[in-house]
Amino acid sequence: AKTPRNGNLNMGFDELEIVIAGYLNPYAKGWITVSSPGDGFEIEEAYATVFQGLPFISEFRGGQWLVDFGKLNVSHTHAYSFIDRPLAHRIFLGGDGWKDQGINWNLVLPTPFYSKLSLSALKGMTFESEEAPADPLDGRYTEAPVYSGRLNIFTPIGQKGNMDIGLAGMVGRYKGRGANGTVDDTNGIRNLYAKMAAVDAKYKIRWNDYTSLTLQGEAIFSKRDLFTDHFETRNTWGAVAFADLRFRKRYNIGVALDRAQGVYENGD
């Protein structure tokens, strides 16, 4: 791109990720992802997973990670077939996806087809303001743990295809203050609630090791209390769908449709 400052050549360093992973002992693994947008480093993920020695077919995780809310959130941007995180993710989950701190339990269900249930109790970092104030009068913070869950079903379709379907939900409570000194509860602070649901589906057919087609999509529905100059509950939704054809093993071409309600209509 041509710019007044850089002329015809305009190159930039967007992000670097360093991953450190390995066994902590025969029963647990550790994973750390450190990223840099070009002006410092931050910890994207840092968690330990116990994968053996637990009852049933289950895993236990503790630390900070990308929450399995929907199908796409758990992947880093470089793993996508497209360039940026979907609009709906950036609006509802954050620019870098929903990463949070807490504990998680994954359980493979005793069904004739593969199905997995994931349950999490989280700190609720997605609700914190950028300043993360200790005083609730200066912003919002979670009042109680955020609870999230996802049910995943995987089944083969024919000889060469498979279908992956997921249903997710979350509920959280946080505090907010009315604008302009509005007093609704004590000191102008009010308990606010947020609920989100997500449905996702992925169909993939692989004709051979070099050629495959992926059809994938997900929708996020949000119901969140707001407290500015008045109290209101706002219902919004967003969705993304895409098709990706991979051929000759290293090449792919596709199309994506992306929507997030209110991106251009709502100034707030």
For the chain, residues with pLDDT lower than 50 are 129-140, 180-185, 266-268
Q: Tell me, what's the pLDDT at 84?
A: 84
Choose among 259, 213, 267: nearest CA to 236. 259
Q: What is the pTM of this model?
A: 0.82
Helices within the chain (DSSP H only) = 87-92
pLDDT score, position 127: 66
Q: What is the pLDDT of residue 3?
A: 61
Type of residue numbered 114: Y
Q: How many residues does the chain have?
A: 268
pLDDT tens readout for residues 142-160: 667 899 999 999 999 999 9
One-letter amino acid of 209: D
Strands 231-247, 42-50: pairing is unpaired
pLDDT at res. 130: 39
